[in-house]
Amino acid sequence: MATITVKNLLDIVVGLIQDTAEAESDKQWPMTELVRLYNIAVLDIVIADKRAKMVTESVKFATGSKQSIPAKSIAFVELIRNMGTDGVTPGQSITPTSMTALSAFNRDWSNDTAQTEIYNVIADPNDPRAYYIYPPSDGTGYGLLQSSKVPDKIVYDDDGNWESAFVDITDEFVNPLLTKIMELVYKKDSDIVGNKDREDDSGNEYLQGMAIRAKQ
């Protein structure tokens, strides 16, 4: 989670677009609209780079070898270690491997005797929400899972309760988030003179910012 609130970030946006109308109803981009664009932009950030919001939590394994990440998660990152049968007792680490390597060792590995303790994990290259474990789980064990999650959606309310919510990604992605919001802002009214160029400039800044972070 970032150290800046959604309100602070959108106030910066308001300053950049210079929407000076006093009444919200008179603004070209009212705050309700900016909150909506924030929700779109922050989700785009996490989809583009799963490191923007990663959560580590203890999860109970489903019976068998194929597993799914929790609700609101969008991508598997790592299965770190066993967590006993209560979800809070740290156990042995779980080693990543590949389907090819495991199948070369044991072609029938997915039908092996189910156990509580897991030795290996295989990320599914074709489905970011799925992963496989070996040996198959008997459904009683837990593991410490790291996944990328969907940021909490900000809901605008007239009382201003939303204003204290913090931007739900890490600080290093806040600047790309700002430029993405600016791109969406100008895209809305790209028919206004100059806004298409501003949209393109903001979009390029966003892509450059994300590319820099991808190399880190």
Instruction: Give the rounded percent of residues in the chain with a pLDDT score beyond 70.
Output: 96
User: Hey, what amino acid is at 101?
Assistant: A
- CA 97/CA 113 separation, integer angstroms: 19
Q: Taking a C-beta distance cutoff of 8 angstroms, is the pair 135, 92 a contact?
A: no
pLDDT score for 20: 65
Q: Which two tokens stand for residue 114?
A: 């189910």
User: Hey, what amino acid is at 175?
Assistant: N
pLDDT score for 21: 64
Higher pLDDT, 105 or 69: 69
The answer on pLDDT for 196 being more than 90 is: no
Put simply, whether the predicted model's pTM sits higher than 0.75 gets the answer: yes
